[in-house]
Structures are given as C-alpha cells and as structure tokens.
Amino acid sequence: MPNNSRKTIFTTISVDKGTAALVEKICKRYSLKKSEVVKLAFGYIDKAHINPSEAPESIKSELAKINKRQDDIIRFIHHYEEEQLNPMIRTTNSIALRFDAIGKTLETLILSQLEASQEKHTAILKKLSEQFCNHADVINNQSKQINALYQIHQRDYKKLLQLIQLYSELSACGVMDNKRKENLKVKISNLINT
C-alpha cells in the first residue's frame, strides 16, 4: 500500500517459519528491523554476485584458490628475479669489480708519482740545504709540511677507496637486502662526515 508522506512503496514477502525465525534471530543480534535485514541481505547478494540458488563452496576450496593465487604471485616474483634482477646484479657486480680494479690501478699510479715527487723534493731540499746552511730550519719545516700533506693525501685516498668499496657493496646488494643497504648507507654517511 502506498504511503504518500514517504513516497516509498512497501511490499510483503511470504517466508516459511524457519526462515522467519532466522530473520528474527538476525534482527535481535544486530538490532535491525526486518525490512533492514532483508534490504541489506539482498544488497550483499547483489554486490558480491552470489547466486542464492547455488550452494556456497567450502572454505577449503576458497583457501585453495587463495593459495593458488599466492603461488602464482610467488612464481611471478621468482621469474622476474631470474629474468630481470639477477642479470642486473651480475652486471652491477662486474662494474663494481672493474671499478675496484681501476681504483687499485689509480692507487699504484698515484703512489708511484708521489714517490717520484717525494724523491724530487728530497733532492731539491738537499741542494738547498747545501747552498743555504743558515736556512736549514726553514727547509726542515717545508719538508715536514710536505710529509704532512702526503699523510693527509694518503688518508684522503684511503677514505676514497673505502667509499668506493662501500658503494660497490651497496650496488651489489640484492632487492631483499634492505638491512644491509641501510648499514652500508650509514657507513658511507659516517665516512663522508669524518
């Protein structure tokens, strides 16, 4: 019968006593009216695309479907790792090894040039000390300054090599090595700030 004040048309549904008892039970449990229970139930059935005439599947079969989807995702991740990530890691590792080799070559070159430079400085200092005996203190101070600069340069170069090694290790880290990556980043940050 139409209700003019609400402009809503209500209809009735006939159900058996067992279904009526179930509706009453749900109404009491959730403090709802019968019309609200019916409206919400049909809304749920429509939204979930459930066919009420078909028996619901068992929980085991639903869990098996979920497990299969998880297995598919895991297989995809493993496939992606094999096809994409592992080659990138190998390439990064080879680059890091080349970088390390270049760093060692540069180290030997710089050390040999420093030794040659130091030998030249020593010869000059000897000549100067022979010619200017009265200026020996000044020359000794210059030699100490050169050695101090050499030590500073050595320290900075070792620091550079440590940074290169840490960056190499960082680039060789896998996707799942987040903790190791963070530790390497902290080490790099500490080394730069010292």
Question: Beta 8-9 vs 2-3: how paired, if at all?
Answer: antiparallel
pLDDT (tens digit per residue) in 24-66: 999 999 999 988 998 998 898 888 777 778 766 677 777 787 8
Ordered DSSP codes for 146-192: HHHHHHHHHHHHHHHHHHHHHHHHHHH--TT-HHHHHHHHHHHHHHH
Which pLDDT value is given to residue 1? Answer: 47
CB count in 10 Å sphere of residue 156: 10
Mean local confidence (pLDDT), 97-102: 89
pLDDT (tens digit per residue) in 113-160: 888 888 888 888 787 767 766 565 766 777 888 888 888 888 878 887
In 3D, which of 161, 157, 153 has the Cα closest to residue 188? 161
Mean local confidence (pLDDT), 82-106: 88
- pTM here? 0.30
